[in-house]
A = this chain, B = another copy of it.
Amino acid sequence: MGNRVKAIVSYDGTLFSGYQVQPEKRTVQGELEKALARIHKGDKWKVTGSGRTDTGVHSIGQTIHFDTTLSIPAERWPNALNSLLPEDIMVREVTYVDPDFHARYDTVGKEYVYQVNNSKKKNIFKRNYMYHYPYELSLSEMKRAAVLLMGTHDYSSFSSPRTSVVDKVRTIFHVGIEKKEDEWIFRYIGTGFLYQMVRILTGTLLEVGKGKIEADIIPSIIEGKDRDLAGPTIPGNGLYLTKVFYEKQKLQEELDKLQKSM
């Protein structure tokens, strides 16, 4: 089969029906597989991603693997693929990896960022890249809630019931909230996230910030294991898959770095 390639891929999710291939739909995986089929002069080429992202969700860190029969140097792969990809997907970095590396099964953690535009008026130029939430927010209340969201828990209350995943226990290592003028950035690092989990976590934090949910009841929301207890599922347009970790040491370094800056 040749060599296994690992690649980090950015995409603007606006015009995609999510990451995962679906018949008749424009998907990120579909476009990647088309480009790889062309470069290999084949009919089909298989790409494996670290996981799916939903319609409208963006990436600067999605990680994939594929096998190749070509001997292109790693540093030339990005340009070779980008010249065949549409302008809303970009391969950022390529490395050759062990033939048993697996983009999905080998993950040890992921980072997602959710961006909120908190200005009074909408900004039409940001409509696809930030969620517009014009209400006054209490940073201190949201930070109090963020701490209570971390840990190892069954996150059933924070995931869409429309999923086949049975084990809903995950570990969230970090929930960070930064404010930059009227833009807010919510950062999550965990072992993995359930379907719509980051959108529900952020939807809940915003209701805490607005005063609609009290920070103190976060533990009882988690314990209730009931989707109806948490805040709303906010849109995918503010969500970015920013990093996928494959080495525990790298994950720990990232967490240490964030710890220091807090």
Contact = CB atoms under 8 A, between A and B. Distances in A.
Number of copies: 2
A127 interface: yes
A58 interface: yes
Interface in A100-124: 121-122, 124
Interface string A1-44: 00000000011100000000000000000000000000000000
A125 B10 CA distance: 9
Interface string A193-234: 000000000000000000000000000000000000000000
Contacts of A121: 92
A78 to B, nearest CB: 9
Nearest to A129: B125
A8 to B, nearest CB: 13
Q: How large is the interface on A (under 10, 10 to 19, 20 to 34, 35 or more residues)?
A: 10 to 19
A90 interface: yes
A89 interface: yes
Most buried by B among A58, A88, A125: A125
A98 interface: no
A87 interface: yes
Most buried by B among A89, A124, A125: A124
Contacts of A125: 12, 58, 129
Contacts of A12: 124-125, 127
A87 B127 contact: yes
Interface in A75-89: 87-89
A194 B12 CA distance: 34
Interface string A61-101: 00000000000000000000000000111101000000000
13 contacts: A10-B124, A12-B124, A12-B127, A58-B125, A87-B124, A87-B127, A88-B124, A88-B127, A89-B124, A90-B122, A90-B124, A92-B121, A125-B129
Interface of A: 10-12, 58, 87-90, 92, 121-122, 124-125, 127, 129
Given A58-B125, A87-B127, A88-B124, 4 more contacts: A10-B124, A12-B124, A12-B125, A90-B124
